Amino acid sequence: MNPKKSTFGLIFFTKKANENGECRIYSRITINGKSVDLSTKRIVNKILWNSAKGTARGTSKESLEVNDYLEQFRSGVVDAYQEAIIQQKPLTPENIRNTFLGQDEAAHTFQDLFNYHNEYEKQVLAKGTMKNYYTTQDYILQFLKKSKKPAGWDITQLSYKFIADFELFLRTFKKKDDPQPLNNNGVMKHLERFKKMINMAVTIEWLDKDPFVKHKLKFTSKERGYLTEEELAVVETKELKTDKLIYVRDLFLFGCYTGLSYIDAINLTANNLMIGIDKEHWLLTQRQKSSKPVKLPLLPLAAQIIARHRHDPRAISNGTIFRPISNQKLNDYLKDLARECGIDKNFSFHLARHTFATTVTLANGVPIETVSKMLGHTKISTTQIYAKVVERKVSDDMKILREKLNNKTQDDNGQIAINN
């Protein structure tokens, strides 16, 4: 770019003040209409800031120090601009910003971001959740390779186009061992995790702007599977021949009558049992996924299942109520249980959680706010996804209404208003 034809500008501005009235000061480097924002790492009281001039107002000690600092900052950015001209670098806001910061400090690659994210989040996220992030990160690296971008690609070059191209890559990519590409929600989950990592980069000021701002995640709404009252009765009463399936059936039914996830159920210990305010048996635990506390009154069948298994030597040795079994093996055996029961549904332990939310609780008139607390959800909108009012409940409610209306019509008219 010819430096004589380029337009260069630098302004200072603040963002929303915190509760103490303090604002962070940012700079905006603009060249030929394109800009990049950069934190000055300086704070000013909003009362002192003159947004029209981009300086602190007045002659107080704080104002003079802020303005002196910003003038030095401006001088440094101008020097970086002149250095880029001398070295014949492309005159872009990003290059000026990188030159000003120093390349070693400014250049952060995707791998840098992954390493930072994983080191921080592995302390708080479950292993299964971290495994999902590793998969997303692998997809990003494969996309970089396919796009012929270097492994050390600077994340400051991220753009909306990069995200759109990555989404298309996810929709069309086929694994060697699986010819089917990801479905829409699978793509959205990877983009959702990518977005969370980018938000972290913005928070730690490796990025000035969030390239996801204009990108909308569009999940496909689908009904969650659950067992009907009749299907649940079949599972409860089916005669089974092997101890393995009997144990798996008990774990599954425990999930149906508590709403606990696999990991939360299998990790239960005697310490999680308590007597509640109603003098009945309760479970007191917390969701491993969110650390949300869960207080749950035990329904009779759930209490019976605990009594059957808590004294198993394998459970005692493990220090838990239930003897160990991996989630993968449990779900494999649940497929066998479905076949034994003649139920054509995708049996998994999560199906039990859905069944608790629908057939066991909502369909029996338990308020959704109560169900949400028992499921350990952080917001009720999550419960609304799980808990669909089953057709039997709708039918029963309408039957009651129909009878009331029929009785009212007979009282008013002495006969039924509609005759066949």
pLDDT, residue 362, reads 85
Cα dist from 353 to 17, 181, 248, 257, 260, whole Å: 43, 28, 15, 8, 6
pLDDT, residue 317, reads 95
Tell me the pLDDT of the chain (420 aa) as tens digits. Answer: 555 567 899 999 998 888 888 999 999 999 988 888 888 989 999 999 999 999 999 999 999 999 999 999 999 999 999 988 887 777 888 888 888 887 545 567 888 899 889 988 988 887 888 999 999 999 999 999 898 877 667 788 888 999 999 999 999 988 777 778 899 999 999 999 999 999 999 988 888 788 998 899 998 866 668 899 999 999 999 999 899 999 999 999 999 999 998 999 999 999 999 998 888 999 998 877 767 788 889 999 999 999 999 999 999 999 999 999 998 899 999 999 999 999 999 899 989 999 998 889 888 888 888 888 888 887 777 777 765 566 666 777 788 888 888 876 665 555 444 444
> What residue ranges do the domains of the chain occupy?
8-106, 110-203, 229-389
Three-state DSSP at 8 gives: strand
pLDDT, residue 404, reads 83
CA dihedral in degrees (209, 211, 214, 218; nearest 10)? -140
At the topology level, CATH places domain 229-389 in: hpI Integrase; Chain A (1.10.443)
* 103-133 confidence digits (pLDDT tens): 545 567 888 899 889 988 988 887 888 999 9
Q: Please give the helix or strand (H or E) that residue 239 lies within, else none.
A: none
**Residues 6+ positions from 124 with CB-CB distance below 8 Å:** none
> Got the DSSP string for 272-325?
GEEE-TTSSEEEEEE-TTT--EEEEEPPHHHHHHHHHHTT-HHHHHHTSSS---
Of 128, 342, 343, 328, nearest to 225 by C-alpha is 343
Three-state DSSP at 237 gives: helix
Structure tokens at 86: 């001398």
Cα dist from 150 to 113, 155, 159, 383, 384, whole Å: 15, 11, 16, 43, 44
Residue 282: strand pairing partners: 274, 297
Could you tell me if 154 and 143 are in contact, meaning their C-beta atoms sit under 8 angstroms apart? no
pLDDT, residue 83, reads 87
| C-alpha–C-alpha distance, residues 49 and 69, integer Å | 14
List of long-range contacts for 101-108, beta carbons under 8 Å, 24+ apart:
101/38, 106/154, 106/156, 107/152, 107/154, 107/156, 108/154, 108/155, 108/156, 108/201, 108/206
Count the Cβ atoms, other than its own, within 10 Å of residue 231.
Answer: 18
**Residues 6+ positions from 329 with CB-CB distance below 8 Å:** none
pLDDT, residue 134, reads 95
